[in-house]
Amino acid sequence: MYLGGGRVAKVRAMVLVPILDPDTHLDRLMDAYADAVNFTIRVGVEQGVTSLGSLSSLCYRPLRQRLTLKSMHVASAIKHAVGILRSWRRRKRKGLPVESVPVFKGTSMRLHKQVHRVDVDTGVLRLSTARGMRFYRIGVHKQVRRYEASGWRRRESLLLRRGGKYYLALCYEREVEPVPPEDVIGVDVNENNVTVCLGDRVVMFVTHEREIRTAYWLKRRRIQSKIRTGKRREQLLAKYGRREKERMKHVYHVVAKTIVQFAVERRCAIALENLKYIKKRIRYTREMTGRLHRWGARLFQRILAEKAERAGVAVLYVNPAHTSSLCPVCGHKLKESPKGQRVFVCPACGFEANRDVVGAINIRLRGLQKMGGATSAPDRPPMNPEAGIVRAVDVVDVLHPERVVGSTTSAALDGQVAQRSSQTALAGGGIQ
């Protein structure tokens, strides 16, 4: 998301809290809401309309007569159906596979501010149902108290049903003053590291994602071979799946927080590769395809974009084609160096660097071009020779900061990163 210069932007956040004492009234409310949404969807498809006004005039009175829903619940259901119909129509126009009539499964429900109240201090949800006002206990997360105390404004909430359990999604909003970008930070997301070009220097965050995900994958394979079926098998697989997910999300949050701090201090925008549909383009060996499908590049980009948005930092998405294989100085095709498979050298100008460093530099240059600060992208024709040539690279090991020497040359990264990765691999990825 690119925040225009000088305009105040609204940023949103959501916190999920459990409902501790659900009852049958919630089930009836959710089922009636799902019926209302599906009725509105069918009317919209039959009549060929997706506007909120038209569907409200067609569906409001029939829904009020046939269902035991409050007026605000009916209005929320119609609004929910409009969003589903518009998404369905967009997919249909793009030629993507769609159902003849979309079906809402009743897993979520919009709660207007007039039909519910949340008391954070006492942990009580007051909800209007067909049987009147009901009170439920909720588990208030510490993040909720942070938002309440730091000036975030609460908006409408969501009631979620997941596997027989109920959750309340509290939605918050606040205004953020955008940081006027004076430069661009290039971020290259790789399978085992995140490389950041700050203009005058490059920082490589070694995440060890490949070793961690491979170790958990092997752990799950051993469980599947030893326990063929049963509830215990499912519990173990789910447990290690959650641990892998939470461990990598922690790494992503640590790296993203640091990058956003760089951007705020230097008054920079953040440039990322547009990796949408990247996994659909993966066509390698079975082992490599499995590794890349476990790679969480898009998740990291989403976390980074959310943190940047809350800090008022602009995020740019650039074309990812050839960012790691074109020389950032002259634009010629790089060739592999005898020093290592991830070290590239330019046959035209002699520029030599790790391919991840090359990718970060080129992403930054393309971001500058998108902002109007560069004359051309790192593609043929040639770039300006002064366009950010970095010889020293700071390496940060996210999992083991004590192992890392402060900086190294860009061409000598291959051996050092491989050594740290092998240390993590020997430790089994640190599986817990």
3-state secondary structure 74-142: HHHHHHHHHHHHHHHHHHHHCCCCCCCCCCCCCCEEEECHHHEEEECCCCEEEEEECCEEEEEEECCCH
DSSP 8-state assignment for residue 67: S
Q: Is 190 exposed, middle or buried (0-12, 13-18, 19+ CB in 10 A)?
A: buried
Which sign does the torsion angle of CA 75, 81, 83, 85 carry? negative
Residue 114 has pLDDT above 50, yes or no: yes
Note whether 9 and 138 are within 8 A (CB): no
Amino acid 244 reads: E
How far apart are the C-alpha atoms of 305 and 299, rounded to whole Å?
Answer: 10
Phi, psi of 146 (to 5 degrees): -65, -45
**DSSP secondary structure of 143-172:** HHHHHHHTTPEE--EEEEEETTEEEEEEEE
| 111 confidence band (pLDDT: 50, 70, 90) | very high
Mean pLDDT to the nearest integer, 284-295: 73
Beta-carbon contacts of residue 246 (< 8 Å; ≥ 6 apart): none
CA 268 to chain centre: 21
pLDDT value, residue 325? 87
Q: pLDDT over 70 for what percent of the chain?
A: 84
Question: Residue 343: beta bridge partners?
Answer: 354
- The whole-angstrom separation of Cα 378 and Cα 363 is 8
> In this structure, are residues 17 and 158 in contact, taking their beta carbons and an 8 Å threshold?
no
Peptide bond just before 62 cis, omega within 30 deg: no
Q: What CA–CA distance (Å, rounded) separates 83 from 107?
A: 15
Residue 251 has pLDDT above 90, yes or no: yes
Of 151 and 374, the structure prediction assigns the larger pLDDT to 151
Would the pLDDT of 280 be above 80?
no
* Mean pLDDT for the stretch of residues 264-271: 93
* pLDDT band at residue 282 under the 50/70/90 scheme: low
pLDDT at 377: 42
Mean pLDDT throughout 118-146?
A: 91
pLDDT class of 131 with cuts at 50, 70, 90: confident
Beta bridge partners of 17: 168
Distance CA 144, CA 158 (A): 15
Q: Of residues 282 and 236, which shows the higher confidence score?
A: 236
Query: Which of 114-118, 197-201, 381-385, 418-422 shows the highest mean pLDDT?
Result: 114-118
**What's the confidence (pLDDT) of residue 424?**
46
Q: Write down the pLDDT at residue 429.
A: 54
Provide the β-strand partners of residue 186.
Answer: 197, 271
Give the confidence band of 332 by pLDDT, cuts at 50, 70, 90. Answer: confident
Q: Is the pLDDT of residue 92 over 70?
A: yes
Q: Which residues pair with 69 in a beta bridge?
A: none
Q: How much is the pTM?
A: 0.77
Closest CA to 170 of 80, 105, 110: 110
Between 283 and 138, the higher pLDDT residue: 138
> Lowest-confidence range among 69-83, 168-182, 388-402?
388-402
Average model confidence (pLDDT) for the chain? 84
**316 — phi, psi (to 5°)?**
-115, 140
**How does pLDDT run across 1-54, given as a tens digit for each residue?**
444 445 677 888 899 999 999 999 999 999 999 999 999 999 999 999 999 999
* Parallel/antiparallel/unpaired status of strands 335-337 and 340-345: antiparallel
The percentage of the chain sitting over the pLDDT mark of 90, rounded to a whole number, equals 53
Mean pLDDT of 72-98: 93
Find out whether 264 and 179 touch, Cβ atoms under 8 Å: yes
How many other CB atoms are there within 10 angstroms of residue 422's CB atom?
11
pLDDT tens readout for residues 367-399: 999 887 554 444 433 444 444 455 568 888 888
Under DSSP, is residue 371 helix (H, G, I), strand (E, B) or coil? helix
Alpha carbon 45 to chain centroid distance?
Answer: 32
> What tokens appear for 278 in the block?
């990247």
Residue 390: per-residue pLDDT: 54
